[in-house]
């Protein structure tokens, strides 16, 4: 809902991503804040921030697949690994510049995603989930098995990204990541308001009815998978050049579920929600990391296992809480708050 | 040599079948895929180990207590986590069971760390049947599996409660109009599933080494069996389990590294050609 006095008189106004002047102002201020944020925060938080960006791109892909098109994927981490290994192999073995592999990573991940999406023509719901779980396990198994290509379980090194012969430092890497995140958000927002996104939503809400209306079901589902996996591939590209080292166990089944948990907590079907969910979950994880020494000193007998166990338990508890109490997610809460502010002092009317 | 491996695989298939049966029980009655089931099995194995070594109860008592634990676990999950979500979209239920799995995994890691073990009562040596040698643990697993399936068939065919469960599986509205308490049947199916998790936990502790990753491993074996047999078919779980049990060593024989991934490939092929499984019910959907 827009502030009082905002009328949509032309279709362009109805479709606009940024409708009011306040939104533009907030957008510019927010972008400036995000771009400079890395300069004020300590080193430990810099890598955290970059990882938030990487996860956000992967989660946006999952949002297109799951939130918009209703095709559930529990293999997003594996599709990330395809992108990551594509750039690693092409740049170490074939000497390509990492910049050139950026689109290739996305396309490779998208194509692999298509292979596992083909059963989606006949199946949906549980069965599609199964197919993506199979994708997760088969891809990660392959990465460990094809030693000649990927270095097997011990992994492989990845070259740094350079501009003019100079490697990027953390601050520059964050600018690169943030740039890609902004582009990704813009693309997804754009998908959402154009024909493609509307066919996605139609397929999500009722695939039979969508087919009757003349939507090519198979093509739409494959396209959703391709876009979702393309984003995962881009996230994988960033991941590879950030860690400079790849091993199959970085892309565990758990990571896929974390991503799914992020878009659920953020709010299914909303782009802003997906990003919010990523930030919330990553922040929670960081807090757990910070708290671990305190808990460890309180229970020294459990010192070795407290860190992994706590992270699992807290994440599970938070997602369960959201599913039970606020299934619409964080974004819904935020929207309620904005609505309250706009209607103040007559907030009781809605 | 080859026959030995195949026979062992066939017998291990019994354990897989039991693992898949726990999914089928819940899915048949309430159309919920319980992805926490692998971790339920793992936590059962750890609880039995704890009862036997730390508490020091005799083996028979430990197993009895474990059965009670498994049933209680199933009951509590249904009552506290699943019942509030009845009628929600399937993704929410799926995520709920997954997160319960995370929770159990976290608890296992928290309490037992990276401890790994075989059940203390695991029979050792090799069993000779005719010309072939098999491990007694897998043989036990197979025998228990056949026993459980026979028992379930009898329950479903000849008891009133079994009949009620079949009606609920067929149609919730019809079941309700016949005076069957559908929610109570849901609860019962979860209790039975938890009970099965306890049984599989014991068997798995004898057949494989119990590690904190056991839950994911069992899930990885159970899901392909489930898809192969059909999500809602009890005989399908048995046949699927035995097939996967056979296919796995065959794949391993062809290329040792293939062993882990063969069940997943079988599953993908099944999803492509016959998504409802060998014995599952083909959905007819109304537009």
pLDDT for A349: 58
Could you tell me which chain A residue has the CA closest to the CA of B225? A130
Q: A151-155, B18-22, B120-124, B154-158 — which is least confidently predicted? A: B120-124
pLDDT for B116: 82
- Residues of B within 8 A of A268 (CB-CB) are 91
Average pLDDT across chain B, whole number:
85
- Between the alpha carbon of residue B201 and those of residues A220, B27, B58, B214, the distances in Å are 43, 20, 17, 10
Note the pLDDT tens digit of each residue in B247-266.
Answer: 888 877 777 777 778 888 88
pLDDT for B195: 92
Q: Please say whether the beta carbons of B40 and B73 come within 8 A.
A: yes
Domain residue ranges in chain B: 2-125+136-273
**Which of residues 163 through 222 in chain B touch A, CB cutoff 8 A?**
216, 220
Indicate the SS3 state at residue B210: strand
Q: Do A145 and B113 touch (CB under 8 A)?
A: no
Nearest to A336 by CA among A322, A319, A350: A350
Contacts of B33 (CB under 8 A, 6+ apart): A126, A129, B23, B26, B27, B90, B93, B94, B97, B231
- Residue B127's region, left for phi above 0, alpha for psi from -120 to 50, else beta, is beta
* pLDDT tier for residue B1 given thresholds of 50, 70 and 90: low
- Residues of A within 8 A of B257 (CB-CB) are 145
B246 contacts chain A (CB < 8 A): no
Could you tell me which chain A residue has the CA closest to the CA of B108? A309
Average pLDDT in the B155-159 region? 88
Three-class SS string for B104-142? Answer: HHHHHHHHHCCCCECCCCCCCCCEEECCEEECHHHHHHH
- pLDDT per residue as tens, chain A (350 positions): 677 778 888 888 888 888 888 889 999 999 999 888 888 888 888 889 999 999 999 999 999 998 888 888 888 999 999 999 999 899 888 888 888 888 899 999 999 999 888 877 777 777 888 888 888 989 988 888 888 788 778 888 888 887 777 778 888 889 999 999 999 999 999 998 889 999 999 998 888 888 899 998 888 989 999 999 999 999 999 999 998 888 888 888 888 988 999 998 988 888 889 999 999 999 998 888 888 888 888 777 776 777 778 888 889 999 999 888 888 888 988 888 888 888 877 776 55
pLDDT for B283: 65
Indicate the SS3 state at residue B51: helix
Torsion of CA A25, A26, A28, A32, to 10 degrees: 140
pLDDT for B187: 92
A65, A134, A326, best to mutate vs chain B, most B CBs in 10 Å: A134
B91 contacts chain A (CB < 8 A): yes
Helix (H) or strand (E) holding B84: none
pLDDT for A117: 83
Chain A: closest CA distance from residue B126 (Å): 32
ipTM of the complex: 0.85
Could you tell me which chain B residue has the CA closest to the CA of A253? B216
Note the pLDDT tens digit of each residue in B19-63.
Answer: 888 888 888 888 888 889 999 999 999 999 899 888 888 888 989
Chain A: closest CA distance from residue B78 (Å): 14
B107 contacts chain A (CB < 8 A): yes
Domain residue ranges in chain A: 44-349
How far apart CA B261 and CA B136 sit, in angstroms, is: 26
Total-model pTM:
0.89
Could you tell me which chain A residue has the CA closest to the CA of B271? A119
How far apart CA A198 and CA A189 sit, in angstroms, is: 12
**Given 2.50.20, 1.10.3470, 3.30.450, 3.40.50, which CATH number is that of A44-349?**
1.10.3470
Q: Which of B94, B216, B260 is closest, CB to CB, to A253?
A: B216
Chain A: closest CA distance from residue B283 (Å): 11
Architecture of the B2-125+136-273 domain: Orthogonal Bundle (1.10)
- Residues of B within 8 A of A264 (CB-CB) are 91-92, 95
pLDDT for B170: 83
How far apart CA B271 and CA B277 sit, in angstroms, is: 8
Based on DSSP, count helices (H) and strands (E) in chain B, helices before strands. Answer: 11, 2
């Amino acid at each position: 809902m827009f502030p009082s006095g905002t009328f949509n008189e032309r279709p362009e106004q109805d479709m606009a991503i940024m409708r009011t002047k306040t939104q533009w102002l907030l957008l510019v201020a927010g972008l400036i804040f995000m771009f400079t944020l890395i300069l004020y925060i300590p080193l430990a938080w810099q890598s955290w921030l970059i990882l938030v960006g990487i996860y956000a791109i992967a989660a946006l892909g999952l949002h297109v697949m799951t939130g918009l098109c209703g095709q559930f994927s529990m293999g997003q981490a594996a599709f990330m690994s395809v992108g990551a290994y594509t750039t690693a192999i092409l740049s170490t073995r074939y000497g390509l510049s990492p910049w050139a592999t950026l689109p290739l990573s996305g396309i490779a991940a998208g194509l692999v995603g298509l292979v596992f999406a083909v059963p989606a023509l006949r199946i949906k719901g549980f069965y599609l989930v199964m197919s993506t779980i199979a994708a997760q396990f088969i891809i990660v198994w392959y990465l460990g098995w094809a030693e000649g290509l990927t270095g097997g379980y011990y992994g492989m090194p990845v070259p740094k990204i350079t501009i003019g012969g100079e490697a990027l430092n953390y601050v520059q890497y964050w600018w690169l990541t943030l740039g890609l995140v902004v582009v990704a958000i813009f693309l997804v927002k754009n998908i959402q308001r154009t024909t493609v996104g509307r066919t996605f939503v139609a397929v999500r809400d009722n695939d039979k009815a969508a087919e009757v209306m003349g939507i090519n079901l198979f093509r739409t589902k494959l396209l959703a998978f391709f876009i979702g996996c393309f984003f995962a591939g881009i996230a994988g590209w960033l991941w590879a050049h950030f860690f400079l080292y790849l091993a199959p166990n970085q892309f565990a089944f758990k990571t896929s579920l974390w991503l799914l948990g992020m878009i659920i907590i953020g709010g299914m079907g909303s782009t802003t929600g997906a990003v919010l969910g990523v930030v919330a979950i990553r922040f929670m994880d960081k807090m757990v990391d910070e708290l671990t020494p305190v808990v460890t000193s309180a229970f020294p007998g459990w010192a070795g296992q407290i860190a992994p166990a706590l992270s699992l338990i807290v994440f599970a508890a938070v997602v369960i809480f959201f599913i039970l109490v606020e299934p619409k997610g964080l974004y819904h809460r935020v929207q309620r708050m904005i609505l309250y502010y706009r209607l103040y002092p007559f907030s009781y009317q809605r | 040599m080859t026959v030995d491996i195949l026979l062992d695989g066939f017998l291990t298939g019994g354990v897989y079948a039991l693992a898949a049966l726990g999914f089928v029980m819940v899915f048949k009655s309430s159309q919920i895929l319980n992805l926490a089931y692998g971790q339920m099995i793992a936590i059962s194995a750890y609880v039995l180990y704890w009862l036997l070594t730390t508490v020091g109860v005799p083996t028979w008592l430990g197993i009895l207590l474990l059965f009670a634990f498994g049933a209680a676990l199933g009951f509590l999950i249904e009552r506290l986590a699943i019942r509030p979500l009845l009628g929600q979209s399937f993704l929410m239920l799926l995520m709920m069971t997954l997160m319960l799995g995370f929770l159990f995994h976290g608890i296992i890691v928290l309490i037992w760390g990276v401890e790994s073990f075989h059940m203390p009562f695991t029979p050792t040596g090799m069993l000779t049947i005719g010309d072939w040698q098999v491990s007694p643990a897998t043989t036990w697993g197979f025998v228990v599996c056949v026993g459980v399936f026979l028992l379930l068939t009898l329950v479903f065919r000849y008891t009133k409660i079994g009949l009620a469960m079949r009606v609920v599986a067929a149609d919730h509205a019809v079941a309700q109009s016949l005076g069957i308490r559908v929610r109570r049947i849901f609860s019962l199916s979860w209790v039975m599933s938890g009970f099965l998790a306890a049984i599989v936990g014991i068997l798995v502790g004898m057949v494989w080494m119990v590690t904190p990753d056991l839950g994911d491993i069992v899930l990885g074996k159970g899901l392909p069996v489930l898809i192969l047999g059909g999500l809602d078919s009890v005989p399908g779980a048995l046949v699927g389990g035995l097939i996967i049990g056979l296919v796995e060593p065959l794949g391993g024989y062809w290329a040792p590294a293939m062993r882990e991934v063969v069940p997943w490939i079988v599953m993908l092929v099944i999803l492509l050609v016959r998504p409802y499984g060998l014995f599952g019910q083909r959905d007819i959907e109304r537009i």
